[in-house]
Structure 1
Amino acid sequence: MQNILFDDSYEYRFNPNDIDISIQQISLFYLLRRLEKNEIDLFADYQRNWNLWSAIQQSRLIESILIRIPIPSFYFDSNDDGEWQVVDGLQRVTTFYNFIVKENFKLIGLEFLPEFNGYRFSELPKELQRRIEEFPLNIYLINRGTPEEIKFIIFSRINTGGIKLNNQELRFALNQGAATNLLIELAQSDEFKDATFHSINPKRMNDYEYINRFLAFYLFKIDYNGNLETFMNNCLVQINKYNSDIEHIKSVFFKSMLYSIKIFGENRFKKIDIDRIRKSRINKALFDAISVNLAWLEIPELENLVRNKEELNFEFENIFNDKYFNEAISFATNSRNKVEYRFETVFQLFKKFKL
C-alpha cells in the first residue's frame, strides 16, 4: 500500500438563509405546562444524563430566581409535531421539573435566603411560589424547516450549558426514532458488551458513540468527507428518514462482534504495543476498521479467517510496525485519508486469509 499524505482539512458549506431561529420570552409556568403535557421531549432522550446536577446546584438555581437574578437563555428545537427538544439548558429544565413538579428535593445550601433551606416548593410562601412560576425565560427556538444537517452544527455552537452536552448526546437528542432505538439495542446487547470486554463506560453515551461510528462507516463509508461528527449525525438522519433495514443491520453487527472474539481473542480492537511496555486498551479507530470490515464479509469468509487466525494475528501485530497505520489510529484519526488508510490496511489483511 502506498504512503498517503494525510490531510485533515474540511469546510462547512450551507446557506445561512436556511437557518430559522426565533427569540421568545415565556414564563417558567408556561415551560412547566409544556413539560406536563409531554410537549417537551426531555426524559426519554436523556434518561441516563438528564439529572446530573446535585441538590445544591439545583437549589442555587432556584435561589437565583427567588432573588430575581437573570439566568442564561434556553435553546429548543421544534419538531414536526410541535414538540420541543432541549438543546441548551437541560439541567436547568430538569431542576425546574424536580423542584416544582415532582418536589423530589428540598432547598439546601442557599447563600442569600438560608431561612428557606429545607423547604420544598409547596412549602414556600405563596408569594415566592408565584415569583418562581412567573419568572421570565428567554428562549431561542430553532423552527421547523431548518435542515437536519445544519441543526447539528447550530447545536454544537450554542451548546454552552454548565454541563455541556457532548456530540453523541446531541445526536441522540436530535434523531429520536428508529436510529436511536437501534443505538440503545446494540449498545445494550451481550454481543457488544462481550466483544468490548464490558469495558465501555456508558456514561455520557460513550457506548452509543461506538455503535454510531459502526453504523456510519458500515452504511455510508463511501460518502465520508472528513468531518466525523456531521457524518455520524447524517447517518442517524438517514436511518430515520429511509427506514433502513434494521434487522439486517443488527444481524451484521452481531456477526461482527462474534467473529471479532473468535478471530482476535484478547487482542480484538486493541492497539498492540510491540514492546509490551503497557497494557493495550480498546481503540475507537481500530474498532471502526475491524468491526466494519468483518461486517462486510460473508460467513464462509469469516470462518476462513477463524481457521487461519494464528497467521492472521501474527500479521496483525506486524501492522503496528507501520508508522502510517499507527498514525491513522492514534493522531487526528478522523481525516478522510487516515480513515481510508486504516480501513484499507485491515481489508488487505483479511483478504489474505478469507479465501
Structure 2
Amino acid sequence: MEELLKEIELRRTSFKTDGYSMSIGELVNLYENNEIIIRPEYQRLFRWSHGQKVKLIESIILGIPVPSIFVYQDDNGIWELVDGLQRVSTILQLFGVLKDTEPLELEGTKHIPSLEGFKWDNDDKDKELPSGLKLAIKRAKINLTIILSDSDKRAKFEVFQRLNTGGSNASNQEVRNNVMLMIKPEVYTWFNGLATNTDFLETLSLSDRLYDEQYHMELLLRFIALAHYDYNHKKDVGDYLDDINEDLLNNDTLDFAGIKANFDLTFSTLNSILGEKAFKKYNGTDFKGKFLESSYEAVSIGLSNNITTYNLPLENNIILNKIQNLYAEEVYNQTSGSGSNAKSRIPKLVPFAKAYFSK
C-alpha cells in the first residue's frame, strides 16, 4: 500500500497544470503575435472536413461549449498546442489569419441554413458576417489547460497520447507520429523518409483509407520492431509498438543508418521481384487476393534477416521460389489461418521466417 501511494504521488507531481479561460479574440491575438505555436507538421497529419469546421463555428455561434484546448508552456512562456489542433485552426481560418490557408467560407447548417456563403471578411458585403455577430464570436470563451514548463519533459506526450487514444478518430499510428514530432522531430523526419520510400509503397497495395489512417507507417514501425528488436509476447501488439516508438525517440545509440540500409535493400529487392504482389498469397500459379499482414511479417522480416547473404540480383529467383513455397509451409498456415491474431502469430511466425529465408 505504501509503495502504491508513493508511485501515485511521484507521478502526480510530474504533471503541473493550470486552467485558464480566454476569449476567442485573445486566442487569435496570441497566434498573430507568435505566442502560441501550431507545428505545421501536425496540420498535415490531422485534417477536418469542411463540414466539421462549419459545425464548430455553428457551435460557437449558438453558445454550445467547445472542449478544452491543451497547450504546453515552454520556459519562455510560449504556448505549444498539444491537443485541439483542428478547433484552433478552424477558428484561425475563420478569422482569415491561419498561415498558408484560404479564409473559411461557411455553409448552411441544419440550425442556421442562412450561413451559406458567409465569411469573416468578404468583398461581397452582403455575405460578410455582421459586426455584432463578429463581436459575439470574439467574446466567446474557450477553456485552456496549460501544461507548465516545470512538468516532466514527457508530460505533453503523455497528455496527447491519452487524449487521442481510445474512442477518438485518430488511429494509434497517427498518435505515434505526433508523439515523434513533439519529442524529437528529427526522428519523425527519418521515419517519414522511410515511409515514403517508393519501393516500400509499391509493394503494399493498400486502399486510400488505410493510407489516410497511416497504416503504411504502422507497417513500417512493425518492420523496424520485428527486424531489429526482440518481440515482447506478453504485450498486445499495439502496446509493443508504442514501446518501440518510444525507444526510437530515446535510444541515442540506435543505428538509424543501419536500419535504413537494411530496409532499403529489403524492399528494393521485393519490389523488383514481385512489386505489388509481394504480400499476396500464392495460389500455385500466381499471387492473388488482398494484402496480408501475415505475409508481410513473414516475407519482409524473414528476408531482411538474411538479405546480405544473397548475391543480388543474381539470386532473386531463389528468393522468389522461397516466397512461392512459403504458403505451403505448415507453420505459416497454422499461424495465419482464420481466427489467428498478431499477438499469437508473431512469436511463432517471425522466428520461423528468419530461419526459412536463410540460404
2:352 corresponding residue in structure 1: 345
- Please state if 1:92 is matched with 2:87: yes
1:220 corresponding residue in structure 2: 229
Instruction: Give the Cα–Cα distance (whole angstroms) in 2 for the partners of residues 237 and 211 of structure 1.
Output: 15
Give the match's secondary structure for 1:318.
coil
- Please state if 1:57 is matched with 2:75: no
Q: 1:44 aligns with which of 41, 55, 58?
A: 41
Compared CA separation, residues 265 and 167, structure 1 to 2 (3 A): closer
Shift of 1:291: 1.7
1:7 corresponding residue in structure 2: none
Compared CA separation, residues 85 and 305, structure 1 to 2 (3 A): farther
1:204 corresponding residue in structure 2: 213
Structure 2 counterpart of 1:206, which letter? Y
Shift of 1:109: 0.6
Shift of 1:251: 1.0
- Please state if 1:194 is matched with 2:202: yes
Give the match's secondary structure for 1:47.
helix
Shift of 1:203: 1.4
Instruction: Give the Cα–Cα distance (whole angstroms) in 2 for the partners of residues 152 and 220 of structure 1.
Output: 26
Q: 1:169 aligns with which of 171, 174, 184?
A: 174
Compared CA separation, residues 265 and 204, structure 1 to 2 (3 A): closer
Shift of 1:33: 4.0
Which deviations, in whole Å up to 9, do the C-alpha atoms of 1:314-333 show, x marking residues without a partner?
Answer: 53121268542224xx6453
Compared CA separation, residues 314 and 30, structure 1 to 2 (3 A): same
Give the match's secondary structure for 1:294.
helix
Instruction: Give the Cα–Cα distance (whole angstroms) in 1 for the partners of residues 325 and 177 of structure 2.
Output: 38
Compared CA separation, residues 147 and 350, structure 1 to 2 (3 A): same
**1:21-170 equivalence runs, <5 A:** 22=17, 23-36=19-32, 37=34, 39-50=36-47, 52-54=48-50, 56-76=51-71, 83-87=79-83, 89-100=84-95, 101-102=97-98, 104-122=103-121, 123-141=128-146, 144-145=151-152, 147=154, 150-151=158-159, 154-157=162-165, 160=168, 164-170=169-175
- Asked whether the 8 Å contact 2:161–2:179 carries over to 1, the reply is no
Structure 1 counterpart of 2:186, which letter? A
- Asked whether the 8 Å contact 2:203–2:276 carries over to 1, the reply is no
- Asked whether the 8 Å contact 1:272–1:317 carries over to 2, the reply is yes
Structure 2 counterpart of 1:127, which letter? G
- Asked whether the 8 Å contact 2:38–2:85 carries over to 1, the reply is no
Shift of 1:266: 6.4
Instruction: Give the Cα–Cα distance (whole angstroms) in 1 for the partners of residues 315 and 335 of structure 2.
Output: 21
Q: Out of 33-42 and 76-85, give the one that drifted further.
A: 76-85
Give the match's secondary structure for 1:121.
coil
Shift of 1:132: 1.6
Shift of 1:120: 1.1
How many residue pairs match? The answer is 329
Structure 1 counterpart of 2:42, which letter? D
- Asked whether the 8 Å contact 1:270–1:286 carries over to 2, the reply is yes
1:293 corresponding residue in structure 2: 302
Compared CA separation, residues 256 and 30, structure 1 to 2 (3 A): farther
Instruction: Give the Cα–Cα distance (whole angstroms) in 2 for the partners of residues 67 and 156 of structure 1.
Output: 26
Q: TM-score, normalised by structure 2?
A: 0.76
- Please state if 1:180 is matched with 2:177: no
Give the match's secondary structure for 1:25.
strand
Shift of 1:78: 5.9
1:10 corresponding residue in structure 2: none
Q: Which runs of 5+ in 1 are unaligned?
A: 1-13
**1:189-268 equivalence runs, <5 A:** 189-197=197-205, 201-223=210-232, 225-243=234-252, 244-261=254-271, 267-268=277-278
Structure 1 counterpart of 2:21, which letter? Q
Which deviations, in whole Å up to 9, do the C-alpha atoms of 1:140-162 show, x marking residues without a partner?
Answer: 445541747855752345664xx
Compared CA separation, residues 197 and 72, structure 1 to 2 (3 A): closer
Structure 1 counterpart of 2:188, which letter? T
1:269 corresponding residue in structure 2: 279
Q: TM-score, normalised by structure 1?
A: 0.77
Give the match's secondary structure for 2:46.
coil
Shift of 1:346: 1.0
Structure 2 counterpart of 1:98, which letter? Q
- Asked whether the 8 Å contact 1:305–1:350 carries over to 2, the reply is no
